[in-house]
Structure 1
């Protein structure tokens, strides 16, 4: 009987262990193998992973079967259905195309692939994602057109495809969507969206942010944009909108309906109407109006003072006349620095800028305003010392600089000798001045000694560091860090360090309408002109492409793509590009470079007959240094750039010399990339240039003595 009981106990024990093992096995399988319900998502993600050609951060290494795909980096799944609802791979440095299978992730509500290097066309299958609310593909290398069937994504609220290589016209059919943000294109390289602003765009009644800046838009602004009553920001800057005639700004009469409007950008277009008085009827929420670089006439309306929240008002480079409205003095939301251009208003007698948020110093240019009688700069954030020139303004009767952050010694001459004529309250770092001010004395232990000690604390460490670096360069020239320093890899001449966009009109003015007197040289794809930018007086070299010449557009795109990814002190520094239309309506493309005052190496080695008396012979040391400079930049291009690059047209005329006779290599129109895959090809197939370049020049790598 006892033996029978024991056998039953063993039987039940083994049975329950078996059930437990089966449950554990089932749980493990369900953790790693997708169920039939979400197998489609799993396969679509694997297809996307397989399309990635470069993954320097090893993001895709987490996309494996050891964990459920909902735990893969960059993915978020619905807790209930375990299907992907968010794909966020922003700034992961990924390279590759987007596969059509992305459209199989049918529950996606958000796609963020911003700031990578995805290329190819945006697949039409994205238009199948009916739950999609947010699509950000900006700052990539996508080409072609935006899929027209995005209008089927009826829940789309944010569309941002700026900074790509997309072409075409603005997508009027997207106006049926309830988008709150529409930022279709802001372009640095290839032609941007062209044509007119579609009238149907006004049907997007929920639109809050409409950013169409830096495109090739023409025509007039539709008046029915005023029906976008939820509009918060309207940016139409850097286009060719307007016709330089009356009625260009009529749409402003209707924008008063946009009661939530906070920003209005019309900078750098061709608006030419008289500035309408209806601008005073715009939303009182407006904090920014930028309308500079147009052809606007007339006077500034008196009612502009109604815009009480205005802190940025840009009307520069227009044809405005008359006097500044006194009501501008009522605007108390202004910020930034006091503009130095105020110094040109030599008839100014009263300057009231109190109660704003100005910061920085009082500009020296105000010393030109010798007729100033009253200055009020109180209740701002101004700092540093009180400038001495204020004591020399003989007409000045009252000065109020209270409630700022001034420091140092108060002058004791001029208006500062009369304590009742100045107000300097709540500037706790001030000292000295006349006795009636009751300020502490500026003893030798106070600011000056402190300043000297501070200077010594800065100068001594900097001197030691400089000596150390010089010794390092001298004694350890083979050190990798030193080589990087000497080769200028850390120099900042990248495509991202651009200044503000430069318009066609500005280039026309800077080169004296592309005068022959400004012509520096000509090549197979265009001409180079010397120019002086009117905005800052910088001397530049403007390379204008001849788009009628076959291959010129491809050369332009190649050069832009190459300069976007490389940086080196011996590369010709690019300042900006201009992709627009000229005064005849033709496509216009140019690159703006830093001007090299000593010309090209070609001009030194083989001067023209009229240059013989101007040029000096290159010394042996100069020739050696130029050769070393070129060698450094070639080594960088071949071995240290993100993707190895072959110049394919290196010759003396493409080597420019600056004021110190330092060589800079330019003209990357024929550049070619060498990809890793080429290592597996035969010797006859690894040539990335072919027989390209200038007549009389063939890359040495194209021939072998074998």
Structure 2
């Protein structure tokens, strides 16, 4: 195959090919697209990716797609010496180890870098900031550690950043707020700390999702969250956030999924959340929220509502989602709740008398108390 010197496109995607990749593919100097994804190439050996060195001779290479195979071994540093015209580098869902080479910044035309679901370690190189045309960075489910470099703010065309399920630590750099085209940000299941930067929580271009769950963020949820007017999903669960739920959250009227469970949030559920007309799943459990459960929650199109393990009190509504015992939960520390539908087995709520009714009863009885004895006396 390497003798087909005029070959421009070689694609064998989504088949069931096995075995190693020839190390002489570099003879195809005019090759522009090499797509081998979705097979069983590789032997899970150290030299599985040695053929990448020969591809540095392919100076017109634009796409290299090797994802969903069985490539093992270390990611070779020669990957940074591939064609400067390379636009797509896809290595996801393999068994690749090693680190991302510092020289990755040489690939200055790269718009997709995908290394999801491997065993990559080390840190995100500072040179990532040189990839000014980068639109998607996918490094989910690896062993990447260290801090997110501030240079990430130079990739202003970035629309999709997924780095969840790693070992990232330290603060989210405020410079990430420069990525004003970002539509999805996945940083969950790491070891990130500090406050959530206002510059990041307020990236108004976010539409697909913002996931900061299962980290160690502290402080309050910034009011800048209200700038996420077109966001579909927001999850900041499993952190150490304190303070009240900001009323500005009600401005996120497109939200379908809001998950704030497992923090230390307090105060009442803000009335502004009645503006979340598209909300389908709301999880506020395992916080320190208090006050009454707002009846407007039953008027929202909720399919799932979790308010368990808080300190709510008063009557549980019976409308909307509160009519389906399988769709909502109020278990746990909510010991002062009453009423609700029968399957909750909560005590009945006290009967409320208005002040008007309390005054009316004695006023009617006073004349009877005075007149009745007189009638009885003279009647005798």
With structure 2 as the length reference, what TM-score do the two structures score? Answer: 0.69
Deviates more, 1:114-123 or 1:295-304: 114-123
The correspondence of residues 355-366 of structure 1 with structure 2, limited to 5 A, is 355-359=276-280
- Counterparts of 1:335 and 1:214 in 2: how far apart (Å)? 25
Deviation at 1:259, TM superposition (A): 1.1
Contact 1:122 1:142 in 2 (8 A): no
Contact 2:246 2:270 in 1 (8 A): no
SS, match of residue 105 in structure 2 = helix
- Counterparts of 2:67 and 2:126 in 1: how far apart (Å)? 25
Deviation at 1:39, TM superposition (A): 9.1
Question: Structure 2 residue aligned with 1:255, among 176, 181, 184?
Answer: 176
Question: Structure 2 residue aligned with 1:275, among 196, 201, 218?
Answer: 196
Per the alignment, residue 62 of structure 2 pairs with 133
The correspondence of residues 373-384 of structure 1 with structure 2, limited to 5 A, is 373-375=294-296, 380=301
Per the alignment, residue 159 of structure 1 pairs with 89
2:15 corresponds to 1:87: no
Per the alignment, residue 183 of structure 1 pairs with 114
Give CA-to-partner distance per residue, 1:77-120, whole Å, 9 cap, x none.
xxxxxx32222212211111110232222222212211211113
- Counterparts of 1:40 and 1:218 in 2: how far apart (Å)? 43
Shift >6 Å, 4+ stretches: 337-342, 360-363, 398-401
Per the alignment, residue 695 of structure 1 pairs with none
Deviation at 1:202, TM superposition (A): 0.8
With structure 1 as the length reference, what TM-score do the two structures score? Answer: 0.39
The correspondence of residues 212-611 of structure 1 with structure 2, limited to 5 A, is 212-243=139-170, 248-249=171-172, 251=173, 253-336=174-257, 348=269, 350=271, 352-359=273-280, 371-375=292-296, 380=301, 394=315
Contact 1:91 1:115 in 2 (8 A): yes
Per the alignment, residue 201 of structure 1 pairs with 128
2:104 corresponds to 1:174: yes
2:27 corresponds to 1:108: no
Say which structure, 1 or 2, has more relative contact order (CA 8 Å, 6+ apart): 2
Residues 193 and 378 of structure 1: CA distance in aligned 2, closer, same or farther (over 3 Å) = same
- Counterparts of 2:282 and 2:248 in 1: how far apart (Å)? 25
- Counterparts of 2:8 and 2:149 in 1: how far apart (Å)? 37
> What is the total number of aligned residue pairs between the two structures?
303
Deviates more, 1:255-264 or 1:278-287: 278-287
Per the alignment, residue 4 of structure 2 pairs with 41
Q: Whose Rg is larger?
A: 1
Residues 304 and 360 of structure 1: CA distance in aligned 2, closer, same or farther (over 3 Å) = closer
Deviation at 1:182, TM superposition (A): 0.6
SS, match of residue 144 in structure 1 = coil
Residues 400 and 107 of structure 1: CA distance in aligned 2, closer, same or farther (over 3 Å) = same
Deviation at 1:219, TM superposition (A): 1.8
- Counterparts of 1:113 and 1:329 in 2: how far apart (Å)? 46
SS, match of residue 129 in structure 2 = helix
SS, match of residue 24 in structure 2 = helix
Deviation at 1:137, TM superposition (A): 0.4
SS, match of residue 87 in structure 1 = strand
Residues 200 and 351 of structure 1: CA distance in aligned 2, closer, same or farther (over 3 Å) = closer
Deviation at 1:379, TM superposition (A): 7.2
- Counterparts of 1:215 and 1:142 in 2: how far apart (Å)? 15
- Counterparts of 1:161 and 1:215 in 2: how far apart (Å)? 12
SS, match of residue 194 in structure 2 = coil
Residues 340 and 269 of structure 1: CA distance in aligned 2, closer, same or farther (over 3 Å) = closer
Deviation at 1:214, TM superposition (A): 1.7
Question: Structure 1 residue aligned with 2:49, among 121, 138, 143?
Answer: 121
Contact 1:157 1:179 in 2 (8 A): yes
Q: Identify unmatched segments of 5+ residues in structure 1.
A: 1-37, 43-82, 384-392, 402-413, 416-706
Deviation at 1:374, TM superposition (A): 3.4
Contact 1:299 1:321 in 2 (8 A): yes
Residues 359 and 304 of structure 1: CA distance in aligned 2, closer, same or farther (over 3 Å) = closer
- Counterparts of 2:101 and 2:2 in 1: how far apart (Å)? 34
SS, match of residue 8 in structure 2 = strand
- Counterparts of 2:243 and 2:267 in 1: how far apart (Å)? 15
- Counterparts of 1:283 and 1:370 in 2: how far apart (Å)? 31
- Counterparts of 1:159 and 1:345 in 2: how far apart (Å)? 45
Residues 307 and 340 of structure 1: CA distance in aligned 2, closer, same or farther (over 3 Å) = closer
